Structure 1
Amino acid sequence: MKKYTGLHLQFINGSWEESKQSSSDIENRNPYSGDKIDTIKGATQAEVDKAYAAAAQAAKTWSQTLPQERSEVLHKLTHVMQDRKEEIIEWLIKESGSTYIKASIEFQICINIIREASSFPLRSHGFIFNSGTPGKESRVYRKPLGVIGIISPWNFPLHLSMRSVAPAIALGNTIVIKPASQTPVTGATLLAKLFEEAGLAKGVLNVVIGRGSDIGDYFVKHPTPKLISFTGSTPVGKNIGKLAGEALKRVSLELGGNNVFIVMKDADIEKAVDAAIFGKFMHQGQICMSINRLVIHEDVADEFVSKFVKKAKALKSGNPMDQEVIIGPLINTDQVARIQKDIEASTKAGAKIILGGNAKDALLEVTILDHVTDDMPIAENEIFGPVAPIIRFKTEEEALNIANSKDFGLSGALHTKDIEKGTAFARSVETGMIHINDQTVNDEANAPFGGEKGSGLGRFNGDFVLEEFTRLQWVTVQHERRDYAPFA
């Protein structure tokens, strides 16, 4: 089987093409080595127009496609992906800096969401309601939205594109994807090749690769898409919400997080440490659900920190092509500099570095800071890197105040042996998701995924994304002559 080629091109209406009028080159680079993978001619507004026009035209027929035909495309897609698993994983490693284990996990959750979405065509149904009017039949039809614009991020590019793409297509919508400039292949063109091989009709999926500064606002404000699905930072998400709101179009926004990992004094410390290691350092902490603040009861803090440091020291870092490596590079050196600035400011404010703190190029050491307070930059800001701030607390009230102190509410975790008390505490945390005796990084294809406050709007996965990506139309049928007295 030959590997895919031409992944640096735009994909519009079933054709692979280079931007004809581009004034902006995008260099796709390996985050670990810095080597150039390819150069992409950035899309222009004219190509955005062309892609949306193709999607709008395809929507006329795709929305009428039989449900079993839409399901079959997704079934074929899973087989194509399984056949090309190692090729896909290789791309995730070299383009997004994924370690082998992270890329393998991303591949599997991507397969899971496709399998879930393949059932949507037959799960998408309307309703019959009783009417208060004699002789009237009250029907509600569920219909596709039409064209959906998708803007995907660089950290889990394959999955975080696919979790919108697969449900949208399954439900009869057509799409245009604008991937992050750092991951144009794994966020978009690789998906286009996979769907093309699975037999998807032309125009149903389109890709425009361009810098946000060139086409970002235009992509959102364009009159064609009925919904913009965006995963990324809260500031960018707020701007997208503003632009979409002015156009009265829907948004699904999965934004930033400042997730707490709370350890009560009755917790099983060994289990809590194991969970914290995964939830903090998976993909170098570059996950919206990653643990951002470790909030530990003061009675068990010394024990937790000692065991946490010991396990963190054992994590192998380096070239993600090495399958034994757990900690790979950040997406670029700008992210390293940003995080080190917050570390420095926090240590000046009294935090103590007890592990790591140094970096070489984009490879930042596993770093642990103790005696952090909730107002320090390393706790105040979303880290998105392999840095673990330890905050000690005295009372459960204090822990809850810390948990709810930020304008984020995506995920969280809580460790305790008292499940019911823990559940009551968890329900008081202002977050869309929280996990008891586990860690913060959880995503299951049939469970609602989304946040509160500055962490976004809407829910992905299962029946919840089905509601996001369809619209309802009320249709009534008056079977008997209606009495309009005194008008008639």
Structure 2
Amino acid sequence: MKIDISKELKELGIEQVNNGVCTGTVWKKTAGSPVESFSPSDGELIASVTQATAADYREVVKTAQEAFNVWRMIPAPKRGEVVRQIGLELRKYKEPLGKLVSYEMGKIYQEGLGEVQEMIDICDFAVGQSRQLYGSTMHSEREKHRMYDQYHPLGIVGVVSAFNFPVAVWAWNAMIALVAGDVVIWKPSSKVFLCAVAVHKIVANVLKENNVPEGVLNLVAAGSRELGDEFFSDKNLPLVSFTGSTKIGKKVGRLVGERLGKSILELGGNNAIIITPEADLEMALRAVVFGAVGTCGQRCTSTRRIIVHDSIFEDFKKRLINTYKNLPIGHALDQKTLVGPLVDKWAVETYQAAIEKVKEEGGKIMVGGEMLSGEGYESGCFVTPCIAEVENHFEIVQNETFAPLLYMIRYSDLEEAIRIHNDVPQGLSSAIFSRNMLETEKFLSHEGSDCGIANVNIGTSGAEIGGAFGGEKETGGGRESGSDAWKAYMRRQTNTINFSADLPLAQGIEFTL
């Protein structure tokens, strides 16, 4: 199946060959090697992007530094007004941008639209946040002294986003950074450069109409060969927000840490759902299926493991297998499709290798795991989602496979279920399905889930932007988006004001000249 999106590409300003560097309203001619973007849905060439070089990047940094000196002094509510207008502009382009996200990345159309809606939602959130960059006042131990803390902009925020969320992760970071008074340099995944180009085309009009300095929002489209460690080691970037694998995240953390910079790391997940005998099984089924096969299992919050009580294990397995056998798999832009393709053929090879590893370790494949070919599947990126009965200690189960591979694990009591749940290196998202308050509260307690996100009667995937997003352990510990995540994008300062005629010292120290 082939779907023509030439109309949407034209509307988004995507040309056959696109430059990979933008400083807000100015596109720079780049000299790096070209990257061609092919749709995983039909294998068709969409367009290409000429990558930025290290020299291009250094020029962008200079422009961003100059812009920061101006942008930080604009009142936060006025910065919020610019973000509000960006949200309005994104609303105008929700349909074509959502379609491009689906076509270039492979997630189904509804998920593509949902991702753009996330951008819109974080704009709305950030507008309100622009009037709430609050500090606290403290009582001083010294007479006629006042103490308080306040937050100042950091500077240039480097944002590295992954292929699975080509536009939303940038927005989570960039919109909060903007209202905080920071400027942004975005380094997107080379698998989805066109989405990043489209976003900068969309926001350019807003920046121009508001006379936003060139260099506040910047794009540097470059793969690791063109621009690698230099980005993370650059002391001009006080904060780097990185979304990607745990393996690369550890390297990023080391490079940023060596220069004592700040990092927000959003890394791998090995997310589980505990399903108890007290669960609504139909509700749990819907949550598990979306969590496991949504975005073809390529979300950091995808459901990787389900931990099911012995008494309902066989019943739930039967329901799950029957559902999997009837999942519509196909072109991401086909409205009937529920499971689109994996992002590329390398992802398919990784998926197949993981399934072989499951078999080697003694796991049982219950359904799926095949590569699809023939009419409609010519791109070579389509697979059938797989369910395997395993034990939690298997090496393959302990590691994240970025594909629709779901593990079923038995348990006999809730303490065992929670122990199994927590017994993986990652700690991003988690859930329990139960109508028993004692079970759900235990799961949310200090002895329950060790993840950054813990849900009750909701799946692991699909977090709202109002809460801080992120996880613990090898997930990196970073937080983005809502709640008080804004504080990571600012530097904290404690201030003390003496409004007396004396100079008393803290702790009652006497120092007389």
1:250 deviates by 0.5
AA aligned opposite 2:397: A
CA distance in 2, matches of 1:483, 1:269: 69
Q: Trace 1:76-225 onto structure 2 (pairs within 5 A).
A: 76-186=85-195, 188-199=196-207, 201=212, 202-225=214-237
Bigger Cα displacement from structure 2, 309-318 vs 32-41? 32-41
The answer for the alignment partner of 1:338 in structure 2 is 350
Q: Trace 1:232-311 onto structure 2 (pairs within 5 A).
A: 232-311=244-323
Q: Is the 8 A contact 1:130 1:138 kept in 2?
A: yes
4+ residue runs of structure 1 moved beyond 6 angstroms? none
1:155 deviates by 0.2
Secondary structure, counterpart of 2:131 in structure 1: helix
Bigger Cα displacement from structure 2, 449-458 vs 210-219? 210-219
AA aligned opposite 1:211: G
For residues 205-258 of structure 1, give each alpha carbon's deviation from its aligned partner in whole angstroms, at most 9, with x where no partner exists. Answer: 111111123312111111211100011111111111100111111011111000
Q: Trace 1:389-468 onto structure 2 (pairs within 5 A).
A: 389-427=407-445, 428-468=448-488
AA aligned opposite 1:379: V
CA distance in 2, matches of 1:431, 1:462: 17
CA distance in 2, matches of 1:246, 1:359: 43
1:288 deviates by 0.4
AA aligned opposite 2:216: V
Instruction: List gaps (5 residues or longer) in structure 2.
Output: 1-7, 373-379, 505-509
1:69 deviates by 2.0
The answer for the alignment partner of 1:364 in structure 2 is 383
1:458 deviates by 2.4
1:114 deviates by 1.1
CA distance in 1, matches of 2:145, 2:470: 39
AA aligned opposite 2:28: E
Q: Is the 8 A contact 2:65 2:156 kept in 1?
A: yes
Secondary structure, counterpart of 2:150 in structure 1: strand
Q: Is the 8 A contact 1:136 1:480 kept in 2?
A: yes
The answer for the alignment partner of 1:17 in structure 2 is 28
The answer for the alignment partner of 1:59 in structure 2 is 68
Q: Is the 8 A contact 1:28 1:38 kept in 2?
A: yes
CA distance in 2, matches of 1:268, 1:139: 50
AA aligned opposite 1:382: E
Q: Is the 8 A contact 2:469 2:482 kept in 1?
A: no
Give the number of equivalent residue pairs: 484
CA distance in 2, matches of 1:310, 1:173: 50
AA aligned opposite 1:461: S
Secondary structure, counterpart of 2:228 in structure 1: helix
Q: Is the 8 A contact 1:415 1:437 kept in 2?
A: yes
For residues 374-400 of structure 1, give each alpha carbon's deviation from its aligned partner in whole angstroms, at most 9, with x where no partner exists. Answer: 133542221221222211222323222
Q: Give the share of equivalent positions with the same residue, in percent.
A: 29
1:13 deviates by 5.6
The answer for the alignment partner of 2:495 in structure 1 is 475
**Over aligned residues, Cα RMSD in angstroms?**
1.8
AA aligned opposite 2:109: Y
Q: Is the 8 A contact 1:134 1:482 kept in 2?
A: no
- TM-score normalised over the length of structure 2: 0.90
CA distance in 2, matches of 1:30, 1:420: 48
Secondary structure, counterpart of 1:413 in structure 2: strand
1:483 deviates by 4.1
CA distance in 2, matches of 1:54, 1:203: 5
AA aligned opposite 1:367: C
Q: Is the 8 A contact 1:380 1:406 kept in 2?
A: yes
CA distance in 2, matches of 1:417, 1:463: 27
- TM-score normalised over the length of structure 1: 0.95
Q: Is the 8 A contact 1:75 1:118 kept in 2?
A: yes
For residues 415-448 of structure 1, give each alpha carbon's deviation from its aligned partner in whole angstroms, at most 9, with x where no partner exists. Answer: 1221232221343221111111121013122212
CA distance in 1, matches of 2:396, 2:279: 25
1:270 deviates by 1.7
AA aligned opposite 2:424: K
Secondary structure, counterpart of 2:328 in structure 1: coil
Taking a change above 3 Å as real, the CA distance of residues 392 and 463 of structure 1, as seen in their structure-2 partners, is closer
CA distance in 1, matches of 2:236, 2:168: 25
CA distance in 2, matches of 1:424, 1:453: 21
Taking a change above 3 Å as real, the CA distance of residues 486 and 397 of structure 1, as seen in their structure-2 partners, is closer
Q: Is the 8 A contact 1:135 1:482 kept in 2?
A: no
Match of 1:68 among 64, 74, 77: 77
The answer for the alignment partner of 1:349 in structure 2 is 361
For residues 18-67 of structure 1, give each alpha carbon's deviation from its aligned partner in whole angstroms, at most 9, with x where no partner exists. Answer: 313x2x33222212222222222221111111111111110111111123
Instruction: List gaps (5 residues or longer) in structure 1.
Output: none
For residues 269-294 of structure 1, give each alpha carbon's deviation from its aligned partner in whole angstroms, at most 9, with x where no partner exists. Answer: 22211211111111111100111111
Bigger Cα displacement from structure 2, 90-99 vs 195-204? 195-204
CA distance in 2, matches of 1:386, 1:486: 69
Match of 1:50 among 55, 59, 70: 59
Q: Is the 8 A contact 1:378 1:389 kept in 2?
A: no
Q: Is the 8 A contact 1:100 1:321 kept in 2?
A: yes
Secondary structure, counterpart of 2:327 in structure 1: coil
